[in-house]
Chains A and B, each alone.
Chain A
Amino acid sequence: MRSSKLISVVPRTLPESHLYSFHFIPTLRSIDFFQSLSAYVAVSMSRQPYVTGTSVLGLIYEGGVLIAADTAGSYGSTTRFKSVERMKAVSNNTLLGASGEISDFQAITQLLDRLIVADAMWDDGNDLGPLDIHNYLTRVMYNRRNKFDPLWNTLILGGVKNGVKHLGSVSMIGVHYVDNHIATGFGIHLAQPIFREEWKENMTLEEGTRLLEKALLVLFYRDRSAINKIQVANVTEDGVHISQPYALKSEWNLEAFKNPTASAAGSW
Chain B
Amino acid sequence: MEPMACQWTDAPHSMGTTIMAVEYNGGVILGADSRTTTGVYVANRASDKITELTDNVYLCRSGSAADSQVVSDYVRYFLNQHTILLGRLATVKTASTLVKELSYQNKSFLETGLIVAGWDKYEGGSVYGIPLGGTLLRLPFATGGSGSSYLYGFLDQAWKSNMTQEEAEALVVKSISLAIARDGASGGVVRTVTINEEGVQRKFYAGDKLPLFHEEIAPRPTPIHAN
Interface residues of A (CB under 8 A from B): 5, 7-9, 11-14, 16, 19-20, 22, 35, 38, 44-45, 47, 49-51, 73, 75, 78, 80-81, 84, 101-103, 106-107
Contacts and interface: CB of A to CB of B under 8 A. Distances in A.
Contacts of B109: 5, 7, 44
Contacts, number: 69
B135 A106 contact: yes
A78 B152 contact: yes
B106 A9 contact: yes
In order of increasing CB-CB distance, the 8 nearest A-B pairs are A44-B108, A50-B133, A103-B135, A50-B132, A103-B134, A102-B135, A103-B133, A11-B101
A159 B153 CA distance: 40
Nearest to B71: A9
Contacts of B154: none
23 contacts: A5-B109, A7-B106, A9-B74, A11-B78, A13-B97, A13-B101, A14-B78, A16-B82, A20-B81, A35-B108, A44-B107, A44-B109, A47-B108, A50-B135, A51-B132, A51-B133, A73-B135, A78-B149, A80-B131, A103-B133, A106-B135, A106-B136, A107-B104
Interface of B: 74, 78, 81-82, 85, 97-98, 101-102, 104-109, 129, 131-137, 139, 149, 152
A44 B108 CA distance: 6
Given A20-B78, A106-B136, A11 B102 contact: yes
Most chain A CB within a 10 A radius of its CB, from B104, B105, B106: B105
Nearest to A107: B104
Given A9-B106, A45-B108, A51-B131, 7 more contacts: A7-B109, A11-B102, A16-B82, A20-B78, A44-B107, A50-B132, A81-B139
A81 B137 contact: yes
B82 to A, nearest CB: 7
A107 B134 CA distance: 10
Contact of A16 (B85, B102, B139): B85
A47 B107 contact: yes
Contacts of A106: 104, 135-136
Contacts of B149: 78
Contacts of A84: 137
Contacts of A22: 74
Contacts of A8: 105
